[in-house]
Amino acid sequence: MKLFGFCVASVHGLALNSTVTEDVAPLANSQVLVMSKNPPFSISWPFGATEPIIATYDNFNYNGFYVKQVCSATLNGRTYLFGGGTSIEDPQRQQVARVRGDMTGLDILSAQLPFPMVEHSCTAVRSKWIMLCGTADTVSGEFSHQCNAFTENGNNFLWKREPDTNGAHAKSAMVYSSRGYSVIIGGVDGYDSTVVETIQMRQQYSD
C-alpha cells in the first residue's frame, strides 16, 4: 500500500494536514482544530456525549500565515505550525507560527527554520521536542533527508540536527512511538513510497 499526501486526525490545536501528537496533557486530547478551512473550526466529543461539539472561530487572524503544505504539532499545550507557503520564494517556508491560547489567531515567532520546509511532517517527542523531517526540497534536494528537533524554552527557541532519513518522505505522516523513537511513514521519494523508517533522537539531549 502506498501512502502519501494524507491527513491524520490530530489533538487539540493542530492543523488538519498534520500528524498525531501523543505527548500532551490528557484534557488536550478531547479537541481537534481544523485550520485548512476558513474560518477554522474545532471539534470536541466530551466523554459520554452522543454528538460532537463544533465551534467556529469567525474572527481568527491568520496573520498572513498560509495554512498549506505545513506541518504542526502540540508541545506542552502550545501548538506550532512550521513552514509551508505558496511558492519557492515564499519566506513562510522558514517561518514558525503558534496558535494563540485564546484561539483568536496565529502569532509569527522569531524562530526561523534551519532551511525552507514544505510538505514535511512533524511530531512531538517526550513532551520536550518536536521532530521535523521529510521536506519536499524543490530547489537542490540537499535537505530532503534532513531531520531537526525544535523546542521552546522560555523566550529561547532551540534547534538540534537529528539523524538523516535513508529515503525522502515528502507528504508523509510521522508519529512518536511509546518505544522512544519517531516513525515516518511513506510519502514521496521521486515516486510513491512504501518505506517506513524510525528516527531515534541523539541520546545526549533526548532525556
Residue 147 within a domain: yes
Q: Is residue 97 part of a domain?
A: yes
Cell of 167: 529515503
Name the H helices within the chain. 203-206
| Mean pLDDT score, 65-91 | 85
24 has pLDDT over 90? no
pLDDT tens by residue, 174-190: 888 877 888 888 877 66
**pLDDT at residue 181 in the model:** 80
Residue 43 DSSP class? E
Instruction: Count how many domains the chain has.
Output: 1
Q: What is the mean pLDDT of residues 16-26?
A: 37
Query: What whole-number distance in Å separates Cα of residue 144 and Cα of residue 153?
Result: 27
Give the cell for residue 6.
494524507
Closest CA to 84 of 72, 74, 73, 101: 72
Quick check: 206 pLDDT over 70? no
**Residue 66 CB partners (closer than 8 Å, separation 6+):** 84, 85, 86, 90, 92
CATH of the domain at 93: 2.120.10.80
Q: Does 53 fall in a domain?
A: yes
How sure is the predictor about 9, in pLDDT bands with cuts at 50, 70 and 90? very low
Domain membership of residue 20 (yes or no) is no
* Other beta carbons within 10 Å of 113: 20
Q: Tell me the average pLDDT across 82-96.
A: 82
Instruction: Give domain status of residue 2, yes or no.
Output: no
C-alpha cell at 162: 537529528
| Residue-level pLDDT at 61 | 94
Q: What is the pLDDT of residues 93-109, one digit of tens each?
A: 889 999 998 889 999 99
- Cβ atoms of 110 and 155 closer than 8 Å: no
Q: What is the pTM of this model?
A: 0.77
Mean pLDDT of 164-180: 81
Q: What is the pLDDT of residue 108?
A: 93
Q: What is the mean pLDDT of the chain?
A: 77
Flag whether 140 is in a domain.
Answer: yes
Please state, in angstroms and rounded to a whole number, the distance separating the CA atoms of residues 29 and 22: 9
- Show the domain range for 140: 26-206
Q: For residue 16, tell me if it sits in a domain.
A: no
Band of the pLDDT at 153, cuts 50, 70, 90? confident
In a domain, 12, yes or no: no
